[in-house]
């Protein structure tokens, strides 16, 4: 039952976000904000596919234990693409709210993203091992969480100041995604069922993409 439900969910998710992303790129009509948002959605879906496709194959065939290397490789790639996702989202914020300066914030975004990617490259992560250390899972997610927190604050403040009804819940989608993701990082090995939180985490990302798509349909004619 888990294999069928999870596989169907992942297929719907991947097809949906990639399709929406492509549509946004095609229909943005030169609007830089929504073209960038579309690219961001494609990066999200394409990156997640490296982990979700092997996971679906594992669940539907011989089990997760036989796909350790493929799952580890996919998890590594997804860790990189999710970091890029937030860097792109930062530039969506800049374009939407007409930000011209803020060099300190830009430096912080790039610094945290670079540190996250650097930590992901360390062999101590043991991506291809079934016994990957929890400590390195925490280390590499500290700058990632700080990056997410920064993006949350930026969207919350700007949407409120500009009375931006279309993007007023963007900050909340990111809060929810991290809220569901962090317990998985900390306790997945001890409590395997906690991995089910990745489903609502994924739904939060779908909400993020739908916010951009809905706004484009209203603002781009």
Per-residue pLDDT of the chain (221 residues; tens, 9 = 90+): 677 888 899 999 999 999 999 999 999 998 999 999 999 999 999 999 999 999 888 888 887 778 889 989 999 999 999 999 999 999 999 999 999 988 999 999 999 999 999 999 999 999 999 888 999 999 999 999 999 999 999 999 999 999 999 999 999 999 999 999 999 998 887 887 888 898 999 999 999 999 999 999 998 87
Q: Where in the chain are the domains?
A: 2-219
Distance (Å, whole) CA 82 – CA 134: 19
Distance (Å, whole) CA 41 – CA 47: 10
2-219 topology per CATH: Rhopdopsin 7-helix transmembrane proteins (1.20.1070)
CA angle 179, 209, 43 (to 5 degrees): 90
**SS3 call for 1:** coil
Residues 6+ apart with CB under 8 A from 166: 211, 214, 215, 218, 219
Distance (Å, whole) CA 166 – CA 170: 9
Distance (Å, whole) CA 127 – CA 72: 5
């Amino acid at each position: 039952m888990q294999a069928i439900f999870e596989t169907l969910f992942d297929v719907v998710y991947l097809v949906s976000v990639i399709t929406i992303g492509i549509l946004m790129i095609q229909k943005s009509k030169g609007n830089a904000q929504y073209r960038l948002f579309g690219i961001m959605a494609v990066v999200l879906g394409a990156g997640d596919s490296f982990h979700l496709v092997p996971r679906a194959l594992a669940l539907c065939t011989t089990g997760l234990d036989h796909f350790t290397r493929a799952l580890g490789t996919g998890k590594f790639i997804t860790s990189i693409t999710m970091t890029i996702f937030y860097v792109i989202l930062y530039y969506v914020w800049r374009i939407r709210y007409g930000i011209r300066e803020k060099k300190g914030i830009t430096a912080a975004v790039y610094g945290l993203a670079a540190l996250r990617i650097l930590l992901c490259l360390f062999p101590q992560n043991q991506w291809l091992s079934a016994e990957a250390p929890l400590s390195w899972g925490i280390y590499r997610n500290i700058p990632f969480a700080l990056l997410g927190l920064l993006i949350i604050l930026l969207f919350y403040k700007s949407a409120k100041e500009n009375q931006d009804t279309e993007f007023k819940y963007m900050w909340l989608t990111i809060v929810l995604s991290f809220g569901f993701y962090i317990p998985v990082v900390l306790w997945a090995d001890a409590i395997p069922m906690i991995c089910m939180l990745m489903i609502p985490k994924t739904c939060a990302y779908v909400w993020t993409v739908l916010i951009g798509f809905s706004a484009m349909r209203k603002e781009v004619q």
